[in-house]
Amino acid sequence: MQLFGALFDVVGPVFLIIAVGYAWGRAGKPFESNFVGLIVNGVSTPCLVIDMLTRPGLTIPALSQMWLAAVLCLALTAAGAWGMARAMGVSLRAYAPPLIWSNGGNMGLPLCLFAFGEVGLGLSIAFFAVSSITNYTFGQAIAAGGITFREVIRMPMTWAIVGAVAMIATETRLPTVAQRAVSLLGGLTVPLMLLSLGYALSSLRITSYGRSVAFSAARLIGGFAIGWLVALILQLDPVARGVVVIQSGMPSAVLNYLWAVRYNNDPQEAASIVVISTIMSIPALPLFLLTIM
């Protein structure tokens, strides 16, 4: 009973805040998604990266191990997505991104924070950074039929990672005033991400069930299994293992739907996978957490 209470303490706050954003959207209340997105991507997330990665307890070897784990998870998931799309005779451009890239930001970061504390959050940021950067490059390239790295150079998070690694390598610390300001701004990230996810889900609609359920199940169960496999291969410690399993087993990211809309790749199907995988994650995530806590 205590274990289930601990699991609820981890997943409960995440879904409650998502529910607030969803209810806000369904009620027709104003929510400036573009403004919030700019704040999260341009200000709060880079501040969170610098704040978490430069705290005591995280080293370059630990971060490098997490980056390697993220690359392996994405590569294995991409291979599975290619095989599943070919086997089902569907468009790779439409169906691969929702299967490959998970919601490691809106949901993965807070779950890792609640499950493993600030060290877990720092490691999860390292994993999320790889996922986010590859989604803005290879994810967009799959959807568009061509690749560009211009987005990566323009991402504030990229430069935040470079700055954080430089600070760790040189053992440099920000002045106290700057560190506190960065910490406060970084604290905006998790609640704004969860509210934004709930609000986005309120406007997405399920238009198909058959293939969407199959791809949603593959995203969750396949991602969970791949996370465990990679953690075992790399012989990760318990906290790092838990972070990799959580991040790899998240539902599909909303960004995949935005790529589908921009490049007209069956956006209704992408929306269905995002919504169904998120709904399926409600009972699935506590079961996933049981294996790592």
Question: Taking the CB of residue 181, how many other CB atoms lie within 10 A of it?
Answer: 14
pLDDT of residue 4: 61
Weakest mean pLDDT among 16-25, 186-195, 218-227, 241-250: 186-195
In this structure, the dihedral spanned by the alpha carbons of residues 68, 71, 75 and 76, taken in order and rounded to 10 degrees, is 60
Residue with tokens 């986010």: 132
**CA–CA dist 104, 108 (Å, integer):** 4
Of the chain, the percentage scoring pLDDT greater than 90 comes to 30
DSSP assignment string, 136-175: IIIIHHHHHTS---HHHHH-HHHHHHHHHHHHHHHT----
101, 135, 99: which is closest to 212 by C-alpha? 99
Mean pLDDT of 92-115: 87
pLDDT of residue 132: 84
The reported pLDDT for the residue numbered 7 is 65
Top CATH class of 2-290 equals mainly alpha
Q: What is the pLDDT of residues 226-285, one digit of tens each?
A: 999 999 999 999 999 999 999 999 999 888 887 787 788 788 888 888 889 988 988 888
255 neighbors 104 (Cβ within 8 angstroms):
no
What is the per-residue DSSP string for 184-245? HHHTTHHHHHHHHHHHHHHH------HHHHHHHHIIIIIHHHHHHHHHHHHT--HHHHHHHH
Report CA 192 to chain centroid distance, whole Å.
Answer: 14
Would you give the distance in Å from CA 245 to the centre of its chain?
12
| Residue 8 CB coordination number (10 Å) | 12
Residue 291 has pLDDT above 90, yes or no: no
Opening angle at CA 279, ends 37 and 112, nearest 5: 60
Cα separations in angstroms, 204 against 197, 212, 253, 276? 11, 14, 13, 10
* Identity at 267, one-letter amino acid code: P
217-221: Cβ within 8 A, 24+ apart? 217/280, 218/80, 218/84, 218/99, 219/98, 219/99, 219/102, 219/251, 219/252, 219/273, 219/277, 220/249, 220/251, 220/277, 220/280, 220/281, 220/284, 221/249, 221/284
Q: Provide the whole-model pTM.
A: 0.85
Flag whether pLDDT at 2 surpasses 60: no
Q: Are 276 and 201 in contact (CB under 8 A)?
A: no
- Report the range out of 5-9, 142-146, 260-264 with the highest average pLDDT: 260-264
| Residue 30 DSSP symbol | -
Domain map of the chain by residue range?
2-290
Q: Given this model, what pLDDT does residue 148 score? A: 64
